[in-house]
Every structure is written in C-alpha cells, then in structure tokens.
Amino acid sequence: MKRHDLKSMSVDQLWSLQKLVASVLARKILAEKSRLDQQLRQLVEPGATPANVKKKMPHARRPYPQVFPKYRNPAEPSETWAGRGKQPRWLTAQLRSGRQLDDFRIKPPSDRARRCNSRTNRKMPEGGLNRFA
C-alpha cells in the first residue's frame, strides 16, 4: 500500500484520494452487508431461500390495540380522528377558523343505551350460575 504525505498533496489530489477512499469503503460495506445477510439467513432457517426469509422475519413493532375515533368531521362523517398523531387537515382548517376541538368530539352513546348493553344488567340464566352443579 502506498503511503501518502497529506500535507504536501494539492487540493485536487486530496479530493481524488477522498473519492477513492469513499468508493472502496462503499464496496467493503456492501460486501460485509451481504456476508451478514447470508449468515442471518443461515441462522433463521438452514435450508431457507432468500425470498422465503424476508417473508418469515417478524415485525419489530408490537401489535397495538385498536383506538376508537374521538372526533368526527361534520361535513364528511366518514372522516374521523382518534386524537393521536398529527391532526387531520379538515380539523386544522376548522380550528383555524375559530371553532373549538370539543365541537367535533363524538358524543358517547346515551346513558340508556349503555345500561341496556352493559353486562351487569343482563338477566341470570334460569337456575343461576350453579345450574350444572
């Protein structure tokens, strides 16, 4: 390997040396990456093909429960927002025009509907809980 005296080199020579180093480094990184991918494929499944390995790799994200919407666009009822993440355009435009966030809140079901659907108000089966005992 040839030694370079960097202090005595011109700017053009330094620039070409930098390009050479960058290209050699990029090639070595790609070679290392392909080697590591090959090792990973062998660890996942010894007889696996590269196409199958990518499909079987688990996702890094954990599953999150469904978040129900809290806000609805009155002009287009199918547009809703759960209150998480960036506010949708329809909501930011309405807020800029002077409306309040609570104007778009989806109202919970009536108290009567909640009482009818709640588990605590359901009738017990005939014979109670011990009917099979």
What pTM, to 2 d.p., does this model score?
Answer: 0.39
* The predicted structure's pLDDT at residue 100: 94
The three-state secondary structure class of 24 is: helix
CA-based angle 112:113:118, to the nearest 5? 100
* Residue ranges of domains in the chain: 11-56, 71-121
Q: In the predicted model, is pLDDT for residue 75 greater than 70?
A: yes
User: Rounded mean pLDDT of 109-118?
Assistant: 62
Task: Please count the residues of the chain.
Answer: 133
Q: Look at residue 130 and tell me whether its pLDDT is greater than 80.
A: no
DSSP symbols for 52-114: HHHHHSPPSSPP-------EE-SSSTT-EE-S-SSPPHHHHHHHHTT--GGGGBPPPPPHHHH
Residue with tokens 């506010």: 87
* 66 CB neighbour count, 10 Å cutoff: 6
CA distance 56 to 48: 10
